[in-house]
Amino acid sequence: MNVLDVSQLAQPLAAAHTHILAAGPHEASGVEGTAQYVSIFWVTLAALLSPIMSRLTGKRIPDVVFLLICGVLIGPNVLGLASGSDGGIPLLKELGLGMLFLIAGFEINVDSLRNRQGKSAIATWFVCFALGVLGAALITGFTRGFNTYIAVGIALSSTALGTLLPMLKSHGAAGTRVGNAVLVHGAVGELLPIFAISLLLSSRSPGMAIVVLLAFMVVAVITALIPHRLSAHVPGLRQIMAAEANTTGQTVLRLAMFLLATLIMCTALFDLDAVLGAFAAGLILRTLTPPAALHMITRRLEVVGFTFMIPLFFVVSGMGIDVSTVVANPLGLLAVVVGILLCRGVPVLLVEHFFDTRSGLTTRAQKAQLALYSAAGLPIIVAVTEVATSSGLLEESTASLLVAGGALTVLLFPLWALGIRQVFGSGQPEQQAPSRKEQMNALKAQRNAQTKLATGMIPVVRLKSQPGSETQPDSETQPESESPADAQPGSSEATGASAGSSVASRAASRAEAKKRKGSAENTGSAEI
């Protein structure tokens, strides 16, 4: 049997492109349509296989790394099975990038950036950015333009929050002090680089760029206020949105897509980067979502985004990596990884060590985990390299090294953080002692459940006792009499059992009320 080589695998696609050149307009369009469907087939296959391969490694290697590897393999630089420029694939890639940053913006709690920990994270990022710019200038001997150094500085100082969130959950770090600190630094590491791209890498002057950015922010605020005003002044709109949220209408998800499309359109009109509009759409959507529904909406957005669009973004990004450049320059790849660690990870570690950031991290192991997680960056690197290459600030070879280095940080740094956590401690979330109000609410819920099991009826429990109500607990916790329909006709056993349960429940309630009354007299509290 003959061995099938790479050139043989690439022959069908090459023949198709040759046929396009020789065909007429109508026939060429048909061939182009076929080529894009072939590319989508390979992209979806890569998206399917990547989480399976990640699971086979025990989730130690995130699926985003496999998405990039699969993109490299099927791309034009290796097997030539798919192309990222066929048909509407570039548009789908942009939508995938937008969906990724929408989810990242939705996960950010802006209030957490206003406290001391958030302000410390912001100051730390500026230090990281300055180190990145200075390091790039020193390595090149100040021979390049200042905007080139800015692009490299943004790439070296970013944090892949959207990529880190699933890793934190799989590593068991979500909800810990380390996980909460990562959320703060990750929010800053995505938000500020996005603003830096819009301000510093724009073709406009800095003053005009600020004016344009402020104009976009005004449009974003107006976009956020419109749903509030409509729901307040249009009768029944809020009820319709709530009723259709769990049907095929999926009004909440359609609102999210509308916000995404609107703000990306606005960024295009203002000549800003699309990630800014997507991130703003996520922030706005969070303000429109009730706190009780945050988890549900997050899950739905993840289902929509991570099913197709976000995997397509990473796979197509992998297609753009020049493997020959990366293989030919391993020292450059290593320099990118070390540079990201020095410019992003080390400053976070030093600030946590020498300053009181109110993060709650007490051990060196916890601070090292935070530094490693914060230094893992990829989506921003992809976005900034695309902007820089399109404007001629970076060569394709340099962009490939930066993207490949970013992929290695996503692979290596979380693994190192997980290893440190397993060796030096789990860092489980600390359980705070429940307040007296929470204890009483839990007690009332337990009484309600017991009463329902005994009588089949849910009692009405007052939040606060009225004067003298402790002496009559039966009126608050139990109906005065059982409904005749609760017992089966002609069944004396059922009637007796029901009556016995009712008597036992009343006795237990009286004893519990007396106990609480004595406790309230000792503490001076009248709350039940």
Question: What confidence score (pLDDT) does residue 83 get?
Answer: 84
Q: What is the pLDDT of residue 31?
A: 58
Which has more pLDDT, 233 or 185? 185
Q: Does residue 473 have a pLDDT over 50?
A: no
- Range of 6-20, 126-140, 187-201, 471-485 with top mean pLDDT: 126-140
pLDDT top residue among 432 and 43: 43
Region 225-232: mean pLDDT is 78
| 73 vs 467 pLDDT, higher one | 73
Distance separating alpha carbons of residues 501 and 276, to the nearest angstrom = 63
- Residue-wise over 15-50: b if at least 16 C-beta within 10 A, else e? eeeeebeeeeeeeeeebbeebbebbbebbeebbeeb
Of 85-94, 122-131, 177-186, least confident by mean pLDDT is: 85-94
Question: In the predicted model, what is the mean pLDDT of residues 62-71?
Answer: 88
Domains, the chain, with CATH or none: 1-87 (no CATH), 88-424 (1.20.1530.20), 436-523 (no CATH)
For residue 433, the model assigns a pLDDT of: 47
pLDDT at residue 22, rounded to an integer? 47
Predicted local confidence at residue 32, as pLDDT: 61
- What letter would DSSP give residue 322? -
For 262-271, what is each residue's pLDDT tens digit?
999 998 888 8
Average pLDDT score over residue span 72-86: 85
Q: Give mean pLDDT, residues 143-159.
A: 90
Q: Are 345 and 372 in contact (CB under 8 A)?
A: yes
Q: Are 104 and 162 in contact (CB under 8 A)?
A: yes
Whole-number pLDDT of residue 518: 52
pLDDT in tens, 289-308: 877 778 888 888 888 888 88
Is the pTM higher than 0.75? The answer reads: no
| Residue 255 pLDDT | 86
Q: Is the pLDDT of residue 484 over 70?
A: no
∠ Cα 471 477 478 (to 5°): 105
Give the residue from 520, 521, 506 showing the smallest Cα distance to 473.
506
Q: Is 66 a residue whose pLDDT tops 70?
A: yes
Alpha helices (H) in 274-329, listed in sequence order: 274-288, 294-304, 310-319, 323-328
